[in-house]
């Protein structure tokens, strides 16, 4: 697969997510319509859709139709979007721009932004549970359980708490890696593992994909830390330079920019090793290989 074919496929996955997200949280025709407007404002603001794309790519790799994971791929993007709305609140990272637009609390006020996050989280589970009831298959329930663990206090929420507790503190690289694995890695791991659970695939490919997923989550957050100091707010669609401003513990604050880049490359090599294992098991890994390069080189 060359870069052009990769880009086409990634765009195809993104479009698939985009179309389905449009109907995943419908507008409410009642006095409290504002909550659906706020939820849709952030959800349809055009993120990179990396998590649904990972979900679709793994489905394709294990010969599961992406339509089987659609509700779950959208649910993960809804949970991710809620986490961004809350992450941007004045009481957490206090950000004014997200996905190239004003943050939810800047447009709707803090109370509605808080509730829009809650509503997105709830709708994600509502949609997944409806799908589980319809499919009546334990693979779908296992996928939802994996995501709920990843999004909860032992995953993303716990990571966000550690992130806040580490502001203005000197922490070890090990502790930072734990924060990154929890606040960002857990949800990315769920995006990769949900199709595997739905397809009820076990054994070496399960383990290799889970290891790959952990490494990819780390790559994603190291690059996020690097981009905060190297990219412009325009390119990122969010305020650049805010980690330093808020004394966040990041790869750059801990190791410096150059060493953060070296660690990123090393982590990239670990991801490629996991893909090689899957290749040797006979799975087509070309898209995930290109996606790994893309995540190592992304500019926003």
- Contacts to ligand IPE by CB under 6 A: 47-48, 50, 80, 83-84, 87, 93, 99, 156, 160, 183-184, 221, 224, 238
238 binds, among ligand IPE, Mg ion, none (CB under 5 to 8 A by kind): ligand IPE
Among 43, 53, 59, 221, CA closest to 143: 59
Which residues pair with residue 102 across a beta bridge? 97
- State the distance between the two ends of the chain, measured CA to CA, in whole angstroms: 23
Asked whether the beta carbons of 75 and 92 are under 8 A apart, the reply is no
Residue 152 CB, shortest distance to ligand IPE, in Å, is 12
99 binds, among ligand IPE, Mg ion, none (CB under 5 to 8 A by kind): ligand IPE
Q: Strand, coil or helix: what is 203? A: coil
Residue 107 CB, shortest distance to Mg ion, in Å, is 17
The verdict on 18 binding Mg ion (CB under 5 A) reads: no
The verdict on 131 binding Mg ion (CB under 5 A) reads: no
Q: Specify the residue, 47 or 261, whose C-beta has the smaller distance to ligand IPE.
A: 47
Residue 159 CB, shortest distance to ligand IPE, in Å, is 6
- Going from the C-alpha of 3 to that of each of 175, 216, 223, 226, the distances in angstroms are 36, 19, 20, 23
The verdict on 93 binding Mg ion (CB under 5 A) reads: yes
Which of the residues 184 through 243 are near Mg ion (CB under 5 A)?
224
195 binds, among Mg ion, ligand IPE, none (CB under 5 to 8 A by kind): none
Residue 275 CB, shortest distance to Mg ion, in Å, is 26
Which residues pair with residue 97 across a beta bridge? 102
Q: Which of the 8 DSSP states describes residue 185?
A: I
Q: Strand, coil or helix: what is 171? A: coil
| Separation CA 291–CA 288 (nearest Å) | 5
Q: Give contact residues for Mg ion (rule: CB under 5 A).
A: 87, 93, 224
């Amino acid at each position: 697969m060359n870069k052009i074919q990769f880009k086409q496929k990634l765009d195809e996955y993104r479009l698939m997510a985009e179309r389905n997200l449009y109907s995943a949280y419908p507008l409410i025709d009642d006095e409290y319509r504002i909550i659906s407007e706020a939820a849709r404002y952030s959800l349809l603001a055009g993120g990179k859709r990396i998590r649904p794309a990972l979900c679709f790519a793994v489905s394709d790799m294990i010969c599961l139709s992406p339509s089987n994971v659609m509700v779950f791929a959208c649910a993960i993007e809804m949970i991710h979007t809620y986490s961004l709305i809350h992450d941007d609140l004045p009481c957490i990272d206090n950000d004014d721009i997200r996905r190239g637009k004003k943050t939810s609390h800047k447009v709707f006020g803090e109370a509605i932004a808080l509730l829009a996050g809650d509503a997105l989280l709830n709708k994600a589970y509502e949609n997944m549970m409806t799908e589980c009831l319809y499919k009546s298959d334990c693979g779908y329930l296992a996928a939802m359980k994996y995501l709920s663990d990843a999004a909860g206090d032992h995953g993303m929420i716990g990571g966000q708490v550690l992130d806040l507790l580490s502001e203005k503190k000197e922490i070890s690289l090990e502790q930072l890696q734990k924060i990154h694995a929890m606040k960002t890695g857990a949800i990315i791991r769920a995006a990769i593992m949900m199709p595997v659970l739905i397809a009820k695939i076990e054994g070496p490919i399960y383990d290799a994909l889970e290891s790959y997923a952990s490494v990819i989550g780390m790559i994603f957050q190291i690059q996020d830390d690097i981009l905060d100091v190297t990219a412009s707010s325009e390119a990122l669609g969010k305020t650049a330079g805010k980690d330093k401003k808020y004394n966040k513990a990041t790869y750059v604050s801990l190791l410096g920019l150059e060493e953060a880049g070296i660690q990123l490359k090393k982590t990239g090599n670990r991801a490629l090793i996991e893909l090689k294992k899957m290749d040797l098991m006979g799975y087509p890994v070309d898209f995930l290989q290109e996606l790994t390069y893309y995540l190592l080189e992304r500019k926003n």
